[in-house]
Structure 1
């Protein structure tokens, strides 16, 4: 099973994910990224600071699989059929 790493970019700052998560495919990584962002944004004190952040998902080789803006995760519907 592939391992994906979820790195949070807030302006020039990067919070790296050194461990990663084993997921079946890029679709599962997309869903995990969306859910991670929504969990982080559930805390009211994070909302203003993180609205411009991006969650960058990379594979084990460091190849970027997707870049998910926090604002996009908050704007979309709850289903994961549109990505």
Structure 2
């Protein structure tokens, strides 16, 4: 099962270590990223999160996708995942 690293970037800073998860594929990683973003925005009133990005990388440290926090707010649950 592939491993993905989820890193929050605010401006040019990564305020925490990446969160690592083993998931089936990039679509599952996209759904996990969206859920994490929604949880973070629900738990924090930090306005900087509106301009934050979740960068998801694979085991080779290649970027799989970047997910702007602002986009997660505009998608219905089960919205469209990454384009391959």
Instruction: Report the counterpart of residue 54 of structure 2 in structure 1.
Output: 55
Using the size of structure 2 for normalisation, the TM-score is: 0.88
Unpaired runs of 5+ in structure 1? none
Q: 1:20 to 1:53 in 2, by over 3 A?
A: same
Unaligned runs of 5+ in 2: none
Q: Distance in 2 between matches of 1:50 and 1:44?
A: 8
CA RMSD after TM alignment: 1.3
Q: How big is the shift at 1:75?
A: 1.1
How far off is 1:77 after superposition? Answer: 1.0
Matches within 5 A, 1:11-22: 11-14=11-14, 15-17=16-18, 20-22=20-22
- 2:76 corresponding residue in structure 1: 77
Aligned pair in 2 of structure 1 residues 16, 79: CA closer, same or farther (>3 Å)? same
Asked if 1:33 is matched to 2:33, the reply is yes
Deviations 1:21-51 (A, max 9, x none): 00000000000000000000002423x1200
> How many residues are aligned here?
80
Q: How far apart are 1:12 and its partner, in Å?
A: 1.3
